[in-house]
A and B are shown apart, each in its own frame.
Chain A
Amino acid sequence: MSEQDRQYDELFSRLGTQNARVKPSPEREAQIRKECTASLTPIAPLKRWQRVASCCALGLLVMSGLAALTRGDGVHQLTRSTLYGAAAWALVLLSVLLVGFGPQGSRAALFRIGAALSVPLAFLAYLGVSQSAWTPLVEWIGHPIHCANAFRCGVMALGLGAISASGVMLVWRRTDPFNPGWSGALAGVVGGMTGALSVGLVCPDGEAWHLWLGHGVGVVMLVLIGAWLGRRVLSP
């Protein structure tokens, strides 16, 4: 640290001391005290490990229940796929909750890693879909019926996902002063995955482009809407 930097440090610290001497007016102080102590009821907040443990326990319970239900040969195929879909959904929810309740630093780091990986992953996903698709993308888009079906599925996925994301936001409302936008995006992931899975279970179209565009775009949209809405709803 240079001599000049030390001088700045000293000047800034003096400024800080001056600032800290300023007091609000007595009327204002009285208002604040009244507002914050008028309806003060005891609350027992959960500790971080208790929150994470309760999420894990809930996830495990759901998974065990699903595993028990899908055992045996008498289970109908649709029921089986519904339950497996729900199991996958429980895993998504569990990971989202774990990240959501994790320490702030690790959370930000996870998001950065996710953001950095999103572009190459999207490209790899495109390559994968191209390989597994029955028709090339241009040809598939050329059929209006394909686009109409994808649009219908997209609207359904978006609607169902929005209901789920709203529920998560309701539970998380006013809890995150640090990264409310990111938490909103997480709620969007939760809702988007719910919508995509729910529609995917009943949709008869198995074409890869339909699944990715019709069912997947809702996830992206809900993530973006969640990020925008999170700053308004999840901030205290």
Chain B
Amino acid sequence: MELAAVFDFADGSGIRSKNPVKRLALADSAAIAELSVEELMGAYVGGDPAAFDLLYRKISPQLLGYLIRLTRHRERAEDLLQVTFSKVHRARASYLPGAPVLPWVMAIARRSFYDELRAKKSRREELSHDGSLPEPKPAEEPVPADVSDALERALDALPDTYREAIQLTKITGLSMVEAASVLGTTPTAMKLRVHRGYRALRETLEKYQRDV
């Protein structure tokens, strides 16, 4: 679909099809699927709230999934989702038109997560609502019998660089190039990280099998 046919940037009104039928069709899921996130981001930067809605519908599931995997906590992931979109909104002027949106947004989300983590580390201890200290984690959990559970646990045990590489490329579904730009590295380094991560996963799973 031609960008010019859908967007009218000249008056800053964002999405405005010259064809009224097409304009109505923009709310359809089929029409949403036709528009790329880059086109929607362009319209959002152009000042169209409807474009934000479509953009949100397109990228939020992947983004929330990624954040849930990062935080391992639903509520925190939702908080970070809100923080990420708020930052995207504030930084939309720095978005390069046509540049891939998903790695840009993912990088903002990842950075927000690490900022939050850093801020938490500087706090001494968090108390629960009744004022007591949180329960310490058990030292050794039993080996999971299910393959997917074992795989998840093995993934959690990986070093951060390998885990993030696998999460972004294999679970979130980014390409090597996109994932590399999120992590600020090269696609070759990403391939290497995934390869080494898989090797470490194999070793851990073999150890689990022996233990079982």
Contact = CB atoms under 8 A, between A and B. Distances in A.
Interface of A: 4-5, 8-9, 11-16, 19-25, 28-29, 31-33, 35-37, 40-45, 47-48, 104-105, 108-109, 174-180, 182, 232, 235-236
B94 A236 contact: yes
Contact of A8 (B85, B99, B151): B151
Interface in B164-199: 166, 170-173, 180-182, 184-186, 198
A29 B92 CA distance: 19
B107 interface: yes
Given A20-B62, A45-B96, A108-B185, 16 more contacts: A8-B170, A12-B151, A12-B170, A14-B148, A16-B171, A19-B66, A22-B64, A22-B68, A28-B78, A33-B53, A37-B52, A37-B53, A40-B52, A42-B12, A42-B47, A174-B94
B65 A19 contact: yes
Nearest to B147: A11
Nearest to A5: B198
23 contacts: A8-B170, A13-B171, A14-B148, A15-B148, A16-B171, A16-B173, A19-B65, A22-B64, A28-B81, A32-B81, A32-B82, A40-B52, A42-B45, A43-B46, A44-B9, A45-B92, A45-B94, A104-B181, A108-B186, A174-B94, A175-B94, A177-B108, A177-B111
Given A48-B96, A174-B91, A24 B202 contact: no
Contact of A16 (B65, B87, B180, B182): B65
A6 B3 CA distance: 38
Of B60, B68, B90, B171, chain A has the most CB atoms within 10 Å of the CB of B171
Contacts of A109: 186
Contact of B91 (A11, A23, A28, A236): A236
A145 to B, nearest CB: 43
Contacts of B92: 43, 45
Contacts of B180: 105
B152 interface: yes
Interface of B is mostly: helix
B11 to A, nearest CB: 8
A140 B91 CA distance: 50
Interface residues of B, number: 63
B56 A13 contact: no
B97 A45 contact: yes
B201 interface: yes
Contacts of B202: 4
A45 B89 contact: no
Interface of B: 9, 12-14, 44-49, 52-53, 56, 60-62, 64-66, 68-69, 74, 78, 81-82, 85-99, 104, 107-108, 111, 115, 147-148, 151-152, 166, 170-173, 180-182, 184-186, 198, 201-202
A110 B113 CA distance: 27
A37 B48 CA distance: 8
Contacts of A28: 78, 81-82
A21 B81 contact: no
Nearest to A4: B202
Contacts of B104: 177
A175 B87 CA distance: 10
Nearest to B93: A43
A235 B91 CA distance: 9
A235 B184 contact: no
Of A11, A29, A32, A236, chain B has the most CB atoms within 10 Å of the CB of A236
A40 B94 contact: no
Contact of A175 (B45, B60, B91): B91
B107 A25 contact: no
Nearest to A105: B186
A53 to B, nearest CB: 14
